[in-house]
Amino acid sequence: MPPGTSKPHVCILTSIHQPFDVRIFHKEARSLAEAGYRVSIVAPKEGNETRGKVSIRAVPYPRNRLERLLMTSWRVLWSGLTERADIYHFHDPELVGMGILLKMFGKKVIYDVHEDVPKTILGKEYLPTWTRELVALFADGFEKAAARMFDAIIPATDDIAAKFSSCQRVVTVKNFPTLLTSNPSGRTRCSDRFRSIYVGVLSEARGIGKIVEALGHLQDLTGAELILCGDFSPAPYEAEVRQLPGFEKTDCLGYVEHWKAQALLNEVDIGLVCIQPVDQYLTALPTKLFEYMAAGLPVVASNFPLWREIVEGNFCGLCVDPTDPRGIANAIRYLHDRPDLRREMGLNGRQAVVEKYNWQAESQSLIAVYESVLSEN
């Protein structure tokens, strides 16, 4: 782009995520805006809003999954088209069809792939078991065929990127944390309490029941508490969790905005990410793991090979069998009894993020993708 030329308008589309999703807003949208792009996000929300340099264009919240699939995607597409953007960047598999339509309208389109879609479908409990493999097979073929039409693919992990080897421009942009939101030197933890935290979706697959049960094995540990930040999925799962031993030591805060969650990390002792060994998560890079590390928290994490390499390789926490509440409890107790070890692990995790696992490097990859796409006629 010639010097002095203003940057184009970017329109980010999502029908599933909150507009202030960490990857969408706090990382990608803000990085693009700081690089001089005009950025708007179309997402389910109550009312339009401008936050910083990013404009939010609201579409109605869907009342259920069916309405989201049949109506919200079209509303997102229509609202996005009214933005008359130069480039469209969408985040959800259910918007793949809308991405094809945008290409038919002559738009430049980027597909941001957060998860391995077929693996995710195989874990959808609301689908009848006998249909899952068929739906996953169809979705895999459709996604790969459509992806070849798009101007760029931005997977969140190298494992996902490998699926799109036949596409013209595939650049992994990992979900590493921003360093500016973390302040491990500003700890304000309570000396009479020992608190573990989980931030994210509260579901069975994320191991919420297991970590609540783990607190039930720590009844003798004075001041031991668990903080949960996020919404239950599905909503009825909350009632099941509330019946578990250990819930009396649990504080459910519901959905917490990103900046508030970051502040909470400076008030607790351990970060938990005990996601269950479901195929789709084994090679994932959960944002929460790196945000705990960035905040200087020792972590208790699932013992998946990739995660073990990160956690134990950087000596920043303990890896456990995520299906074993007693094992999780033992790891929490071990760290509770060793404050000097917690501090050492926390500092190691923070240093690893500073050196290797930070958004600053990933944002440069994102900007480079945009420059490459926009350089083509």
Q: What is the pLDDT of residue 121?
A: 87
Bridge partners (DSSP) listed for residue 108: 87
Supply the mean pLDDT for the chain: 92
Question: pLDDT tens across 237-258, in order?
Answer: 999 999 999 999 999 999 998 8
List pLDDT tens digits, range 117-175: 988 888 777 788 889 899 999 999 999 999 999 999 999 999 999 999 989 899 999 99
Confidence of residue 220 (pLDDT cuts 50, 70, 90): very high
Q: Looking at domain 179-355, which CATH architecture does it have? A: 3-Layer(aba) Sandwich (3.40)
> Is 236:223 a contact under the CB 8 Å cutoff?
no
Kindly report which listed range (2-11, 224-233, 281-290) carries the lowest average pLDDT score: 2-11
Tracing tokens 């950025």 back to the chain, one arrives at: 39
Q: What percent of the chain has pLDDT over 70?
A: 95
CA distance 104 to 107: 7
Give the residue among 154, 176, 152, 151 at the shortest CA–CA distance from 26: 176
Question: Quick one: pLDDT at residue 129?
Answer: 83
Find out whether 110 and 369 touch, Cβ atoms under 8 Å.
yes
d(CA 366, CA 120): 25
Average the pLDDT over 177-200 and give the result: 73
Confidence band (pLDDT; 50, 70, 90) for 376?
confident
At residue 46, what is the residue type?
E
Identity of the residue numbered 149: M
At CA 285, angle to CA 369 and CA 373, rounded to 5? 10
Does residue 4 carry a pLDDT above 50?
no
Q: What is the pLDDT of residue 3?
A: 44
Cβ pair 198, 230 in contact under 8 A: yes
Contacts of 139 (CB under 8 A, 6+ apart): 93, 117, 118, 121
Strand order in the sheet with 108-113: 49-51, 54-59, 38-44, 9-13, 87-90, 108-113, 152-155
Q: Which CATH superfamily is domain 9-176+358-374 in?
A: Glycogen Phosphorylase B; (3.40.50.2000)
- The token duo for 334 is 């071990």
Q: What mean pLDDT do residues 81-94 have? A: 96
The confidence score (pLDDT) of residue 190 equals: 59
β-bridge mates for residue 271, sequence order: 197, 299
Start-end of CATH 3.40.50.2000 domains in the chain: 9-176+358-374, 179-355
Counting residues of the chain whose pLDDT is more than 90, the rounded percentage is 80
Q: What is the pLDDT of residues 301-358, one digit of tens each?
A: 999 999 999 999 999 999 999 999 999 999 999 999 999 999 999 999 999 999 999 9
Cα 12 to Cα 109: distance, rounded to the nearest angstrom: 10
Residue 221, classified by CB atoms within 10 Å of its CB into exposed (0-12), middle (13-18) or buried (19+), is: middle
